[in-house]
C-alpha cells in the first residue's frame, strides 16, 4: 500500500523495487492511494505495475489516505498490509523483514525503527530527531511499551489488526494507529531498517515542525480522551479540585489564626470556581467512562461488520 501525493519522480521506482516473491506469501499486489495528485503520479504507478489505484479528487491528508488504503486493501482480501512511502525514503527490499513477525505469528503490527540499531541510524536535523524522541517517549509512556520510533510510516499490519483499527486523524496516522492497536490488545513489534533519513524533496506531511508537533499532539490528546476518558477528565478534575481545596484549607487556617481573610478575598472566589469545576469534571469523567464502555461495544460491532463486508468483497 503506497499513499502518494505528487510523487511522479519516485513512485515507479518504489513499485519496481517491491519484491515480487516473498517466502510464506502466496500473492503480492500493489495498491496505490493517489491523494489528489496533480502530476503524473497515477499514470506512472499504472505503468510501473500497480494492481489497483484508489484516487481522491482533492488532497485530503496522509491520515485520510492511509484509512482509504486500509479499507481498499481489506476489500482486496489482503492478509498482510504493508504501508510504505512513495518517495523512496524506505527501501522496498526490506518488506520481507517487516512482515516476518506477522508471518511467524509473533506480532499484529510491525513498525520500522530508524533508531533501534545505532549502527544504521540515519542522519537527520537535530530538531527533527528531538521531536521524534519526544513523541516516541510520550507514546511509550501512554502504551507502557518501550518504543524507539513511533513516527515511521513503514509498517506492516495483519488483517486482524487492520480490521480493528478505527482512525479519525486527517493529518497523519502514525501515533494514532499505535495507540489504537495497543489499546485493542494488538501485539506491536519494532524491526530496525536502514533508511535514507532525508527524503528527496520537501516533506508532504511536515511543512513546519511547530505545526506538525501541534497537530500530532492534538491527535494523541484526542486518542487518550477517546480511549481513557476516566483518566483524562478525572486527572484534570482532580488537579482543579485539589488545587482549590488546598488553597481553601490554607485560607481557612489563616482565618482561624488571625480572624480575617482580606486581602485575599479574590482567592476565595477562585477556590470556589476551581472546586466546582473540578467536581463537574470528575462527574464528566464518570459519564465519559460509561460512554467509553459503549464505544468498546460499538467497536466490536463495527469490527464484525467490516469483517463480513470485506469477506464478501474479496470473494
Residue-level pLDDT at 121? 86
Q: What is the mean pLDDT of residues 199-226?
A: 70
Q: Distance of CA 39 to CAs 34, 44, 230, 231, Å?
A: 10, 10, 47, 46
- Residue 227 has a pLDDT of 87
Mean of pLDDT values over 224-236: 92
CA angle 105, 108, 112 (to 5 degrees): 105
User: pLDDT grade, residue 207 (50/70/90)?
Assistant: low
| 8 Å CB contact between 63 and 173 | yes
Q: What value does the mean pLDDT take over residues 4-21?
A: 95
With beta carbons less than 8 A apart as the criterion, state whether 39 and 8 touch.
yes
Radius of gyration of the chain (CA): 24
Q: What is the pLDDT of residue 201?
A: 44
CA atoms of 163 and 181, how far apart (whole Å):
10
Alpha carbon dihedral 239, 242, 245, 247, in 10-degree steps, equals: -80
Give the separation between CA 298 and CA 276, rounded to whole angstroms.
33
* pTM metric for this prediction: 0.83
311: pLDDT confidence band, cut at 50, 70 and 90?
confident
200 has a pLDDT exceeding 50: no
Amino acid at each position: 500500500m503506497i499513499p502518494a501525493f505528487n510523487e511522479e519522480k519516485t513512485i515507479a521506482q518504489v513499485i519496481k523495487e517491491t519484491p515480487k516473491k516473498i517466502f510464506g506469501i502466496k500473492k503480492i499486489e500493489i495498491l496505490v492511494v493517489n491523494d489528489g495528485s496533480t502530476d503524473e503520479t497515477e499514470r506512472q504507478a499504472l505503468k510501473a505495475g500497480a494492481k489497483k489505484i484508489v484516487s481522491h479528487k482533492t488532497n485530503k491528508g496522509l491520515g485520510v489516505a492511509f484509512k482509504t488504503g486500509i479499507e481498499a486493501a481489506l476489500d482486496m482480501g489482503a492478509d498482510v498490509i504493508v504501508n510504505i512511502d512513495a518517495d523512496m525514503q524506505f527501501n522496498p527490499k526490506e518488506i520481507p523483514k517487516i512482515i516476518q513477525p506477522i508471518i511467524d505469528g509473533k506480532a499484529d503490527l510491525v513498525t520500522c525503527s530508524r533508531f533501534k540499531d545505532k549502527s544504521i541510524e540515519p542522519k537527520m536535523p537535530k530538531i527533527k530527531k528531538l521531536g521524534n524522541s519526544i513523541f516516541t517517549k510520550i507514546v511509550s509512556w501512554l502504551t507502557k511499551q518501550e518504543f524507539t520510533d513511533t513516527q515511521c510510516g513503514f509498517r506492516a499490519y495483519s488483517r486482524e489488526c487492520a480490521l480493528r483499527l478505527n482512525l479519525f486523524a486527517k493529518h497523519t496516522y502514525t501515533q494514532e494507529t499505535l495507540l489504537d492497536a495497543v489499546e485493542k490488545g494488538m501485539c506491536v513489534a519494532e524491526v530496525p531498517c536502514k533508511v535514507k533519513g532525508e527524503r528527496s524533496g520537501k516533506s508532504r506531511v511536515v511543512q513546519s515542525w511547530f505545526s506538525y508537533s501541534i497537530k500530532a499532539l492534538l491527535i494523541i490528546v484526542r486518542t487518550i480522551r477517546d480511549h481513557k476518558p476516566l483518566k483524562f477528565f478525572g486527572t484534570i478534575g482532580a488537579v482543579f479540585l485539589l488545587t482549590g481545596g488546598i488553597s481553601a484549607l490554607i485560607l481557612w487556617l489563616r482565618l482561624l489564626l488571625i480572624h480575617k481573610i482580606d486581602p485575599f478575598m479574590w482567592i476565595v472566589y477562585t477556590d470556589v470556581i476551581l472546586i466546582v469545576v473540578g467536581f463537574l469534571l470528575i462527574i464528566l469523567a464518570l459519564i465519559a467512562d460509561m460512554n467509553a464502555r459503549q464505544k468498546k461495544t460499538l467497536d466490536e460491532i463495527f469490527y464484525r461488520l467490516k469483517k463480513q463486508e470485506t469477506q464478501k468483497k474479496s470473494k
